[in-house]
Amino acid sequence: MASLNTQSVASDQTLFVEQLPSHLRPEPVVGPVHGEAHRQRRQALARAVAARSNGRPAIVLAFSGKEILRNRDNPYAFRFNSDFFYLTGFPEPDAWLVMRIDAHGEMTDRLYCLPRDPEREIWDGVRTGPEQAAERYLFDESLSLAEIDNDLPELLIDQPTLVAPWAESQAIESRLSGWLQQCRSKARAGKKAPSELLSLGDLVARQRLFKDQAEMMTMRQAAAISAKAHCLAMQTTRPGLAEYNIEAVLLQAFRGQGAESVAYGSIVAGGPHSCILHHRAGHRVMREGEMLLIDAGCELHGYASDITRSFPVSGRFSPEQKAVYEVVLAAQEAARAATVAGAAFTAPHEAAVRVLCEGLIHLRLIASTTVEQAIETEAYKTYYMHRTGHWLGMDVHDVGDYCEPLAPGMVLTLEPGLYLRPSPSLPEAFWNIGIRIEDDALVTEQGCELITRGVPVDPQAIEDLMAGRA
């Protein structure tokens, strides 16, 4: 029986790790967790479904996803559906989770997965197969995917509620409708098809908003890997390098520390590009005197990290760069202080906006005379046009209701910024200064913990790191 898989993969990291300065050497990465944590999530979902359907029996379906071709016969790296993986920990494509929930919220579950196939496995790697899946991933039973079209219409009979990934893709939708129609065709024999159709995504979103211990552990690891990658990127940056050189450092650091992927396309934005919010790393060569904004994070075992740092290409802030940087840093500190259990999700944003307005007025970058006026007229939006954060989890912009008050176990980003594009209304020394500072905050009983602070934010600490003094 498998529960926590805590096998270390550090021994596979020697090549990359040996090159790192000692203070940047990563902790050993713990392998993905699967088993008991996922079973508990399925049980919690079963209770939520029973409560929602007033105790009427229900079937829950979740699908792992299909491989998608990138070109001709060449697939993209497979990335499982987040809801499916959250509930199962099963990483293979073409798998369906089926849960049966009784009137008391008790559930039995089974996994349909691809059967073993010696011929395909030579090319694509070993499959778990239905013989092993139940024991390894703690399902009541596991069956071959080939059985599902026979079984599903029968399983749906006389089940009033069906929870499924509705409206997620045409392929899934047509699968679900096919099973439902077959079930409905048995009406003349006195059998009933589900009449209440509920969205799996809506139900799981609330659960995913509150991270359990296994998730917090993985998110801390992802955060630590990304923080080290940012440190290395800072140490490498100098005039004459291109944005793609720095992206390569980030990718090497993510994969070299055991992360499977990026959580989103890395933003490496030099000079004028620093004022483009989601500029993807390109070919532009960085110059003395410019800012570099890096917004990049790895995905580890299905969990995202999301960090932004902004720093001078030359390693020394100009007075204007530093002045703007300190305003953004103070805004982030205000957002952090407002990130407390019970507060509205909007509280950190509102706190950050006030400080940004104060700074913009102080630097004479907007004409408003008071913070209230700057907020009321939205004068600050010329330079700060996005919100201060989002939920973070398996998806970088994670699921979850933004009307929920903050509570322990939630993870959100705190990412204020200022983007000063060239404009006749700005002194030229401020042109092309784009600054965002983003950390990942875990809400605790006491306030919040910034889990990404393995990379410095203090301007002096950044200059020291870039100069090799740290």
Of the candidates 52, 390, 421, 453, the residue annotated as catalytic is 390
Spatial distance between the Cα atoms of 273 and 459, rounded to a whole number of angstroms: 21
Is the Cβ of residue 243 or residue 295 nearer to ligand GLY in the bound state?
295
Strand partners, 30: 8
> According to the binding rule CB under 5 A, does residue 306 interact with Mn ion?
yes
User: Shortest Cβ distance from residue 387 to ligand GLY (Å)?
Assistant: 9
In the list 66, 264, 344, 464, the residue contacting ligand GLY (rule: CB under 6 A) is: 264
Judge whether 332 and 453 are in contact, CB under 8 Å.
Answer: no
Judge whether 78 and 64 are in contact, CB under 8 Å.
Answer: no
Residue 12 known to be catalytic: no
Of the candidates 86, 303, 380, 419, the residue annotated as catalytic is 419
Is the Cβ of residue 58 or residue 412 nearer to Mn ion in the bound state?
412
Residue 386 known to be catalytic: yes
Spatial distance between the Cα atoms of 452 and 439, rounded to a whole number of angstroms: 6
Per-residue contact track with ligand GLY, 283 to 322, x per CB under 6 A? ------------x----------x----------------
DSSP string, 50-86: HHHTTT--EEEEEE-----EEETTEEPPP---HHHHH
User: Shortest Cβ distance from residue 415 to ligand GLY (Å)?
Assistant: 6
Judge whether 84 and 62 are in contact, CB under 8 Å.
Answer: yes
In the list 82, 207, 368, 413, the residue contacting Mn ion (rule: CB under 5 A) is: 413
Cβ atoms within 10 Å, residue 58: 25
Query: Residue of minimal CB distance from ligand GLY?
Result: 295
Spatial distance between the Cα atoms of 450 and 441, rounded to a whole number of angstroms: 4
Spatial distance between the Cα atoms of 404 and 342, rounded to a whole number of angstroms: 9
Is the Cβ of residue 398 or residue 438 nearer to Mn ion in the bound state?
438
User: Shortest Cβ distance from residue 390 to ligand GLY (Å)?
Assistant: 6
Q: Supply 160's token pair.
A: 């009033």
> According to the binding rule CB under 6 A, does residue 415 interact with ligand GLY?
yes
Residue 149 known to be catalytic: no
215 binds, among ligand GLY, Mn ion, none (CB under 5 to 8 A by kind): none
Of the candidates 52, 79, 116, 386, the residue annotated as catalytic is 386
Residue 438 known to be catalytic: yes
> According to the binding rule CB under 5 A, does residue 128 interact with Mn ion?
no
Is the Cβ of residue 396 or residue 426 nearer to ligand GLY in the bound state?
396
Side chain identity at residue 445, one-letter code: E
Residue 415 known to be catalytic: yes
Strand-strand pairing, 107-113 and 141-144: parallel
Residues from 377 through 396 that contact ligand GLY (CB under 6 A): 390, 396
Classified as helix, coil or strand, 308 is strand
Binding range to Mn ion, per CB under 5 A, among 17-25, 47-55, 363-371, 432-440 = 432-440
Q: Could you give the C-alpha distances from 179 to 61, 95, 99, 162, 169, in angstroms and in order?
A: 12, 16, 15, 11, 16
Residue 325 known to be catalytic: no
Q: Supply 250's token pair.
A: 């980030």
User: Shortest Cβ distance from residue 397 to Mn ion (Å)?
Assistant: 7
In the list 295, 299, 398, 463, the residue contacting Mn ion (rule: CB under 5 A) is: 295
Residues from 428 through 447 that contact ligand GLY (CB under 6 A): 438
Of the candidates 279, 309, 354, 436, the residue annotated as catalytic is 436
Q: Please name which of 330, 327, 351, 329 lies closest in space to residue 339, comparing C-alpha atoms.
A: 351
Residue 112 known to be catalytic: no
Q: Please name which of 291, 304, 305 lies closest in space to residue 227, comparing C-alpha atoms.
A: 305
User: Shortest Cβ distance from residue 142 to ligand GLY (Å)?
Assistant: 37
247 binds, among Mn ion, ligand GLY, none (CB under 5 to 8 A by kind): none
The side-by-side arrangement of strands in the sheet containing 267-270 is 267-270, 291-296, 307-312
Judge whether 243 and 270 are in contact, CB under 8 Å.
Answer: yes
Structural Rg of the chain based on CA atoms: 25
264 binds, among Mn ion, ligand GLY, none (CB under 5 to 8 A by kind): ligand GLY
Residue 273 known to be catalytic: no
Residue 436 known to be catalytic: yes
Q: Which residues contact 432 (CB under 8 A, 6 or more apart)?
A: 271, 272, 274, 275, 290, 291, 420, 421, 422
> According to the binding rule CB under 6 A, does residue 166 interact with ligand GLY?
no
Contacts to Mn ion by CB under 5 A? 295, 306, 413, 438
**Which residues are identified as catalytic?**
73, 278, 295, 306, 386, 390, 397, 415, 419, 436, 438
